[in-house]
């Protein structure tokens, strides 16, 4: 009997933590990513770690042989600064999901999880900083984030039709801004929580007293800590719920409030410089958790300040090590 789990995108932030969680449970995991293993954000040596380009159909068929469940978290993505300037690259990720679905069907995989995004929700529902939480039904009529959002929405539909036409058990999570330690914190692909932690950490390390904020700081978001993300993902995968489901915090804050939290954690107050020409994304986005509470009897609950305290401590240590010229490795065993 097959009992091996495939995690696609295992070299990324969420994928790496998902692999670690499975390994801690004593499960067998095939961890796959395009990056060389030494460049993975978190690697578990107990897993079967494989380097493969999952945009290639042959790679998807090869790595899914003998697999019971597939968790597809593989995508070319990053924060708003990346996805606004790399729309074609983001859309090419549709090849990964399409080829993995074909491989899952032909290799008789038991279940298939797809990591979608709140970027599938239309811009016209997110123009107000005080917008209500986004319900799953709000995705249509469709007008998602250009590039990245369209790829996610298209891939959601692919999962649905593979379930309807071929009987493949698919599950779809719409993640809302996942953050935490062991993630991208610089280089242009980081998201707002990590970027703000880095900027505050560098202000402390370098003795500066300024922080650049993209936009006017009034745009709002909710941010979900990685532990909640892993818990929700596994609950959804093992449930009978087949439609897309929000997995995200409903604790909405402005970017200015997020900076307040990090400054408070760091014990510093910085002068804010607003870059109104930088990528800003939608004006307001929050997760409506009514449906997940109903169908899974659960919703993300780790408070933003508690998660940011852990995240800032980790990012500060990495930034400090780099500033002092000490050995720094992005991946941790």
Active site (catalytic) residues: 148
CA distances (Å), origin 222, targets 117, 182, 246: 13, 20, 12
Cβ–Cβ < 8 Å for 17, 29: no
Using alpha carbons, select from 97, 252, 247 the residue that is nearest to residue 178: 247
Cis ω on the peptide bond leading into residue 141 (within 30° of 0)? yes
Nearest 5 degrees, angle CA 123-CA 13-CA 190? 55
Cβ–Cβ < 8 Å for 81, 188: yes
Question: Across the chain, how many H-helices and E-strands are there?
Answer: 11, 13
Cβ–Cβ < 8 Å for 70, 111: yes
Using alpha carbons, select from 175, 114, 133, 150 the residue that is nearest to residue 288: 133
> Is 322 strand, coil or helix?
helix
Q: Report how far apart the first and last C-alpha atoms of the chain are (Å, whole number).
A: 29
For 77-132, the DSSP string reads --SHHHHTT-HHHHHTTHHHHHHHHHHHHHTT-SEEEEEEEGGGS-GGGS-STTPP
Angstrom distance (rounded) from CA 57 to CA 5: 19
Angstrom distance (rounded) from CA 234 to CA 95: 24
> Is 3 strand, coil or helix?
coil
* The pairing of beta strand 169-175 with beta strand 111-117: parallel
Angstrom distance (rounded) from CA 274 to CA 223: 21
Residue 88 CB coordination number (10 Å): 8
Cβ–Cβ < 8 Å for 129, 253: no
Structural tokens at position 152: 């996610």
């Amino acid at each position: 009997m097959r009992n091996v789990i495939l995690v696609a995108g295992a070299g990324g932030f969420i994928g790496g933590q998902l692999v670690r969680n499975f390994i801690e449970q004593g499960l067998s995991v095939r961890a796959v990513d395009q990056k060389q293993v030494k460049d993975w954000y978190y690697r578990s040596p107990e897993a079967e770690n494989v380097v493969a380009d999952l945009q290639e159909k042959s790679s998807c068929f090869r790595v899914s042989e003998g697999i019971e469940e597939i968790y597809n978290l593989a995508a070319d993505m990053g924060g708003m600064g990346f996805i606004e300037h790399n729309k074609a690259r983001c859309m090419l990720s549709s090849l990964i999901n399409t080829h993995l679905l074909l491989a899952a069907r032909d290799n008789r995989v038991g279940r298939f999880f797809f990591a979608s995004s709140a970027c599938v929700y239309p811009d016209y529902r997110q123009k107000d900083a005080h917008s209500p939480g986004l319900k799953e039904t709000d995705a249509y009529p469709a007008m998602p984030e250009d590039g990245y959002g369209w790829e996610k929405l298209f891939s959601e539909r692919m999962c649905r039709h593979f379930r309807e036409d071929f009987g493949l058990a698919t599950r779809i999570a719409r993640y809302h801004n996942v953050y935490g330690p062991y993630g991208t914190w610089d280089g242009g692909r980081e998201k707002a929580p990590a970027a703000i932690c880095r900027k505050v950490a560098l202000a402390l390390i370098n003795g500066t007293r300024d922080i650049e904020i993209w936009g006017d700081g009034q745009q709002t978001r909710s941010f979900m800590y990685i532990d909640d993300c892993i818990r929700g993902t596994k609950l959804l995968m093992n449930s009978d719920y087949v439609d897309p489901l929000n997995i995200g915090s409903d604790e909405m804050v402005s970017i200015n409030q997020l900076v307040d939290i990090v400054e408070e954690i760091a014990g510093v107050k910085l002068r804010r410089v607003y870059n109104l020409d930088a990528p800003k994304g939608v004006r307001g986005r929050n997760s409506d958790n009514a449906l997940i509470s109903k169908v899974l009897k659960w919703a993300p609950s780790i408070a933003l300040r508690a998660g940011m305290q852990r995240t800032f401590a980790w990012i500060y240590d990495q930034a400090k090590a780099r500033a002092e010229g000490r050995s720094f490795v992005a991946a941790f065993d």
